[in-house]
Structure 1
């Protein structure tokens, strides 16, 4: 007769969850193994530090204040020169990181939550609810996003950062919801979900603790994609004059530089610096996305060839 100790007995649900778990560890391993993801994480870390602690990079406390001589070239006191309005370009660039990241993170989080709620609910509930939610998703997918953004922002008098974030969320959640619905449909009849139903678990527990942990990589990829979309679109809105004229962000820097004809007057850094930062932040989100794509899509993972025996 074989004796089995109580410590060696594990509930089937716990074993299954451990096999599916380790989402954070899987993400870290994917980032650690990918040079592109590490580069993206390093770039994002620099921007985060600049957004939270701008005083580490500049001694100017009020970048919008017109306190300097006009149109100074780059020099010891002003690394990128000054604007045609007497503002330090480097200080504006550093302080503008905060608003740009706020738009990216707030839009990414809100749109991802909305995508998860609608996409997963449509797949799990099925029937009429699935058809209604899928129809809503399809409507937002086919609507031209940028013209709609311009119309809504202009109607709301632009300016307010909350308005820009709300507009970006409304126009940015549908693609992620479609992806999450497809993934949830493939999971709906898996054995571990059926076993949870047999155990009598309610649907909230099944969705939150059984289904969503298996979709962490796809949810993270959707967040990064939406954040990238928010950075580029918000900069475009602010560039065409739909942002707050008193705010300090990379998009408003481009707007005022274009209005003052910076390139024609020899103030190239007024345009190049914020444009380069927007490109680098977008590259950081895109490079990080590679790691999450590798987790969710095994076909993208690097295949290690066995070494030949000498």
Structure 2
């Protein structure tokens, strides 16, 4: 609860939460916001933005605003789903390697190093091309199962430091089982790192999904921000001046990425007190200036009373 309280008091975190929460809510309540079906033709080809169609239409006559809203459902689901898979694997492997050490640590560390030296995007492209036109959920699984190594390495290094603390050693001396020490003593001390890893993984998953689908490796029949980019490229929307079809998914992805990045910065500041030093310095200057002003007022009042 203390970490959550610190997060809610951070301006960057609040701003980032507002941005991400806005797009999550608009995606969830898309049927109440727009009357159009994102997958059906509702007007003419490449109709410019108007009162009836806020963001215009595509070459197939589909409403861009409806596609952006409904596409957010799938793209955000892929991002958060892949983030959960990445964090779950990173925490499980990283804590296991860092806490038990020995041959277990050597084997798992070797596995991490192997995954880290393999270029992620080319690997994902090869897997997606091998499978064929993959659904968004399969893309989330592929991203989650191939992107855990960096987070696992960070969790492992932090676990190595935490397991030497007095409270962990005391629990070991008292004969506490390993699973209880990991869950009760070690895991709570990794919350900030796990949070930052999760947010970073969500950003990476959303961008990677959009990249794969833009390259034509996704399912073109699904409505996502990535398939919007793919259809925009396929129909040469940018060349014929249909700017609304080009900018809508790009702006939305950029805004969600910025909101998640602000959350990530806030988590870093909370986890690392040195990053919050400027906040403390600013507050100290304000307090000092206030005290000086009060002292000046008292001196003026005393001079007036003396005269």
The answer to whether 1:41 aligns with 2:25 is no
- What does the per-residue CA deviation read over 1:281-302, in whole Å, with 9 as the maximum and x for residues that have no partner? 1111110011211222222113
The alpha-carbon deviation at position 154 of structure 1 amounts to: 0.7
The answer to whether 1:84 aligns with 2:54 is no
Q: Secondary structure at the match of 2:277?
A: coil
Which residue in the other structure is 2:95 paired with? Answer: 120
Q: Is contact 1:97–1:249 with CA below 8 Å preserved after alignment?
A: yes
Q: Is contact 1:83–1:89 with CA below 8 Å preserved after alignment?
A: yes
CA distance in 1, matches of 2:55, 2:46: 10
Which residue in the other structure is 1:30 paired with? Answer: 7
Q: Could you tell me which of 30, 33, 41 is aligned with 1:54?
A: 30
Structure 1 gaps of 5+ residues are: 1-23
Q: Is contact 1:156–1:163 with CA below 8 Å preserved after alignment?
A: no
| Pair member with larger Rg | 2
CA distance in 2, matches of 1:117, 1:29: 26
The answer to whether 1:255 aligns with 2:230 is yes
Which residue in the other structure is 1:279 paired with? Answer: 254
User: Which stretch of structure 1 is more off in the superposition, 295-304 or 187-196?
Assistant: 295-304
Matches within 5 A, 1:204-219: 204-219=179-194
CA distance in 2, matches of 1:237, 1:82: 23
The alpha-carbon deviation at position 200 of structure 1 amounts to: 1.8
CA distance in 2, matches of 1:271, 1:149: 25
Matches within 5 A, 1:208-247: 208-247=183-222
User: Which stretch of structure 1 is more off in the superposition, 216-225 or 283-292?
Assistant: 283-292
CA distance in 2, matches of 1:116, 1:109: 10
The answer to whether 1:292 aligns with 2:267 is yes
CA distance in 2, matches of 1:80, 1:86: 12
CA distance in 1, matches of 2:204, 2:5: 24
The alpha-carbon deviation at position 202 of structure 1 amounts to: 0.2
TM-score by length of 2: 0.90
CA distance in 1, matches of 2:26, 2:217: 25
CA distance in 2, matches of 1:194, 1:298: 26
Q: Is contact 1:66–1:86 with CA below 8 Å preserved after alignment?
A: yes
- Alignment RMSD: 1.1
Q: Is contact 1:67–1:86 with CA below 8 Å preserved after alignment?
A: yes
Q: Secondary structure at the match of 1:302?
A: helix
Structure 2 gaps of 5+ residues are: 293-307
Aligned length: 285
User: Which stretch of structure 1 is more off in the superposition, 289-298 or 203-212?
Assistant: 289-298
Q: Could you tell me which of 66, 69, 76 is aligned with 2:44?
A: 69
User: Would you identify which runs of 4 or more consecutive aligned residues in structure 1 move more than 3 Å?
Assistant: none
Q: Is contact 2:48–2:244 with CA below 8 Å preserved after alignment?
A: no
The alpha-carbon deviation at position 67 of structure 1 amounts to: 2.6
Q: Is contact 2:203–2:260 with CA below 8 Å preserved after alignment?
A: yes
Q: Secondary structure at the match of 1:301?
A: helix
The alpha-carbon deviation at position 173 of structure 1 amounts to: 0.5
CA distance in 1, matches of 2:133, 2:203: 20
Matches within 5 A, 1:3-14: none
CA distance in 2, matches of 1:128, 1:158: 40
Q: Which has the higher helix share?
A: 2
CA distance in 1, matches of 2:222, 2:207: 17
TM-score by length of 1: 0.89
CA distance in 2, matches of 1:82, 1:256: 12
CA distance in 2, matches of 1:57, 1:94: 9
User: Which stretch of structure 1 is more off in the superposition, 270-279 or 298-307?
Assistant: 298-307
- What does the per-residue CA deviation read over 1:86-115, in whole Å, with 9 as the maximum and x for residues that have no partner? 100111011111001100110000110000
